[in-house]
Structure 1
């Protein structure tokens, strides 16, 4: 069986989808850093009925087999909004993606990527980027540094062998995405504290908690700021209303008002910062299953989470302020208030910021100023397929 050829076929049946989901649990079972995702949530992510991203995207899932045994999986997908973005921002016409990749060996990886490329090429794509699983807002990039510790919520993790297997196929480094960690039990450096104090004396600035009772309105404010703030960034694809609605349903149980801040300038919302308690710490022992009793444990945790780590996945400042000193001041104020809340109310001792683009000098300067260090690096690769 070990010498049998690798074959790749599309996922068609319910049994195929189950095999696609289950494979990751077998391949990563011996990795102590891997966090098994909840199978029910993963199933929703790959289902067009439950993931608003598919309202502007299409894709195909594939399984690799050797001698009748599943040995790998991959997705190939096209985002129509990414096709419309300027080429200088990373995507643009002819750009397709693959992701959700798992493979037992290099031969399986090669067969999977070749099949994904063939599917993209048949759809008129001339360039393949990967791994991106599946939206750039979900889990982009291959982990190449930081395999020795578990990922935080909504961050990916993969075997270290994948890097060599993918690079051997002619894929070149396109962009690095970095996460930074810091000890949040300590006060920020004096310079940061002075900048925060100056902002607190400015009557034009107000840093407020979100109002969970007006969740939809608050989500709209954050979406508006984010689509403006990120519009010039590499890899930006605007979030649609359906995506925001779907993400909102999924993330609402993780919204804690002290951990999400909106900054107002003369009454206008101009910046936001979102922090999340690391739910991965709670679900890691579940093995991907909520039944029979893990759902009770999760509900208890969600009611009053205690998390060693809090992650800041998103922040944004309106473009009109990004060249001013207010950008850093507002960022320091929001992260300072969130730090205090996570320590005092949720027992956090560690923070993680990211991902951050490797050429985002503004965010890197903020991360450096609060004494954080790079702890994980993800790489997005590209290859022409014309």
Structure 2
């Protein structure tokens, strides 16, 4: 039975989006290890006039109230590019999504999920998948392991109770996303070092840093490799040209050339690895606020992120090289160079790799080979929508 005292209201306009974001911020503030994000960035992500994701998506935001008090929020959305993909890759025809899920209790959670399902069903969807907030490239999945420590940049953090509430509403896990923790103060095992040294002697291979003077070109190179390398992955949705330009603009401030790599084979870019210093350490100190002095701390950190943890959120090798020794060799060469540089220039002690799909045996093998260990798990759920 659904709680009749919980009223679900659709979100409309700028004022409604601001309340939607602030409700999420209030829920996050209750969690001891959640990190307050910049409100301006959160508002931009749900603004159809600014986020190019909405150029290929339909959506509706909802807020739950009990006695006039906000007790949760949720998004229901349809990524029309995802509908064009094969069903065996996770999405495809009939795949609706929910995201931005927060709830006070199980009753409000079930009302919110039911509302999102109703919205998706009315638009011809036959299943609900989530939480995905809101693009697969933003914050996919529900944290189900790792609530005992803070997330790194661009990773979500959720109360443990949400898992029970989603599963009790009839959802079953369809994919797990993994992040791996790595102590970078120690060199890699001898076997990995030998593979790296062999690659360094190969005149066909060049591993170079990105060039921010040609940043727009570099972004196109990186995302062209990504769109090819990930094209068979579960949940993959290709970046549009508008999203590539938007991603380049948003990422540029956190890009430090010396820890972001492109690998070339015979002069042709075939692989990349991105590394972001963990801005969450600064955001925690300034409580996610730029004013009055937060901007000064953030600007100083961006220039020289000393002591920062690092996150490797994305890497890719062209599909033609998959299942080859060269693919793993290129990955080891890039991450080895990043490890050495981050520890030497920034005093980094810890890095996080991922997320990595649980069925990606190649990337999991690389993570195991460098002796990293799973520290966080994110679940993506699915539920059939009965007609």
Listed as ranges, the matches of 1:117-156 within 5 Å are 117-156=117-156
Deviation at 1:272, TM superposition (A): 0.4
Comparing 5-14 and 330-339, the one that deviates more? 5-14
In structure 2, the residue matched to 1:313 is: 313
- Kindly tell me the number of residue pairs found equivalent between the two proteins: 384
In structure 2, the residue matched to 1:183 is: 183
Residues 94-118 of structure 1: CA distance to partner in whole angstroms, max 9, x if unpaired?
0000001111111111111111111
Secondary structure in 1 matching 2:378: strand
Contact 1:180–1:353 (Cα < 8 Å) also in 2:
yes
Listed as ranges, the matches of 1:36-185 within 5 Å are 36-185=36-185
Secondary structure in 2 matching 1:28: helix
Contact 1:343–1:349 (Cα < 8 Å) also in 2:
yes
Structure 1's unaligned 5+ residue stretches are: none
Contact 1:263–1:272 (Cα < 8 Å) also in 2:
yes
Query: C-alpha distance in 1, partners of 2:336/2:135?
Result: 30
Residues 10-68 of structure 1: CA distance to partner in whole angstroms, max 9, x if unpaired?
01143322221111232232322100111000000000111111111111110000001
Query: C-alpha distance in 2, partners of 1:4/1:169?
Result: 16
Query: C-alpha distance in 2, partners of 1:4/1:316?
Result: 48
Contact 1:278–1:307 (Cα < 8 Å) also in 2:
no
Query: C-alpha distance in 1, partners of 2:117/2:286?
Result: 35
Residues 84-140 of structure 1: CA distance to partner in whole angstroms, max 9, x if unpaired?
000111100000000011111111111111111111111111100010000001110
Runs in 1 of length 4+ with deviation above 4 angstroms? none
Contact 2:153–2:278 (Cα < 8 Å) also in 1:
yes
Contact 1:50–1:246 (Cα < 8 Å) also in 2:
no
Is 1:353–2:353 an aligned residue pair? Answer: yes
Deviation at 1:289, TM superposition (A): 1.9
Listed as ranges, the matches of 1:249-260 within 5 Å are 249-260=249-260
In structure 2, the residue matched to 1:226 is: 226
In structure 1, the residue matched to 2:243 is: 243
Contact 2:17–2:46 (Cα < 8 Å) also in 1:
no
Query: C-alpha distance in 1, partners of 2:307/2:115?
Result: 41
Structure 2's unaligned 5+ residue stretches are: none
Comparing 23-32 and 102-111, the one that deviates more? 23-32
Q: TM-score, normalised by structure 2?
A: 0.97
The verdict on how the C-alpha distance between 1:49 and 1:14 changes in structure 2, with shifts beyond 3 A counting, is: closer
Query: C-alpha distance in 2, partners of 1:24/1:307?
Result: 29
Is 1:378–2:378 an aligned residue pair? Answer: yes
Contact 1:4–1:67 (Cα < 8 Å) also in 2:
no
Contact 1:4–1:66 (Cα < 8 Å) also in 2:
no
